[in-house]
Amino acid sequence: MNPWFEVARAAVLLNIVLLLGLATVWARNYRSHGAKHTLGLLVFACVLLAQNLLTFYLYSFHPTFHEWVYYSAPIAKRGTMAVNVLELVAVAFLVKITWE
């Protein structure tokens, strides 16, 4: 396995876990307060969660996509990994400020 590809897949998996936690907190807050801002955060988390679930499926289970990424140029793998890791940093920051 290519290390860039594995780092990207791990980042996506961590994003899924963190987004599930954020969605749970924001759903609970929306039910108790009903604020539109909290609803916006919940919708944001759900859409980003759907994107990460699709990405994880493509990285892990879709044979054609997996083969295409695996055999692509190294810059494509590093770019994909960078995008996923940057998203992980952003989501981790949201987790930090949400749970403080």
Q: What would the mean pLDDT of 3-10 be, rounded to a whole number?
A: 88
pLDDT for the residue numbered 4:
82
3 state SS for the chain? CCHHHHHHHHHHHHHHHHHHHHHHHHHHHHHHHCCHHHHHHHHHHHHHHHHHHHHHHHHHCCHHHHHHHHCCCHHHHHHHHHHHHHHHHHHHHHHHHHCC
Structural domain including 86 reads 3-98
pLDDT digits (tens, 9 = 90+) for 28-38: 999 999 999 99
**Average pLDDT over every residue of 54-63:** 91
Question: What digits encode the pLDDT tens for the residues 14-28?
Answer: 999 999 999 999 999
| pLDDT above 90: residue 68 | no
Q: Which two tokens stand for residue 68?
A: 């295409």
Enter the pTM of the model: 0.91
Domain count, the chain: 1
Q: Which residues, 6+ apart, have CB-to-CB distance to 39 below 8 Å? A: 30
